[in-house]
Chains A and B, each alone.
Chain A
Amino acid sequence: MTLALYVPRATVVHRAPAGLKLLSLSLTGVLVFAVPTLPVAAGALAAVLAVGLFVAELPPELFGRQARTLLWWLVALLALHLLTTDPETGAVAVLRLLALVLAAAVVTATTRVTEMVAVVEWLCAPLRLVGVRPARVGLVIAMALRFLPVLAERADAIREAQAARGGPVRGLRATVTMVVPLLVSVLRMADTVGEALDARGADDVPAQPSWRRRTGGRLS
Chain B
Amino acid sequence: MAEREPAYTVASDSETTGEEKSSPLPEIAIGIDIGTSQCSVAVWNGSEVELLKNKRNQKLMKSFVTFKDEAPSGGVTSQFSHEHEMLFGDTIFNMKRLIGRVDTDPVVHASKNLPFLVQTLDIGVRPFIAALVNNVWRSTTPEEVLAMFLVELRLMTETHLKRPIRNVVLTVPVSFSRFQLTRLERACAMAGLHVLRLMPEPTAVALLYGQQQQKASQETMGSGSEKIALIFNMGAGYCDVAVTATAGGVSQIKALAGSTIGGEDLLQNMMRHLLPDSENIFKRHGVEEIKSMALLRVATQDAIHQLSTQSSVQVDVDLGNSLKICKVVDRAEFEEVNKEVFEKCESLIIQCLHDAKVEVGDINDNLVTNLCKITEVYKGINPLEGAVCGAAMEGAVASGISDPFGNLDLLTIQATPLAIGIRADGNKFVPVIPRNTTMPARKDLLFTTIHDNQTEALILVYEGEGKKAEENHLLGYFKIMGIPAAPKGVPEISVCMDIDAANVLRVLTGVVMPGSRITVVPVMEVRMPMVDDGHGWCAEALNRTHGATMDLVTLKKA
The judgment on whether A and B are partners is no
Which residues of B come within 8 Å of A, CB atoms? none
Which residues of A come within 8 Å of B, CB atoms? none
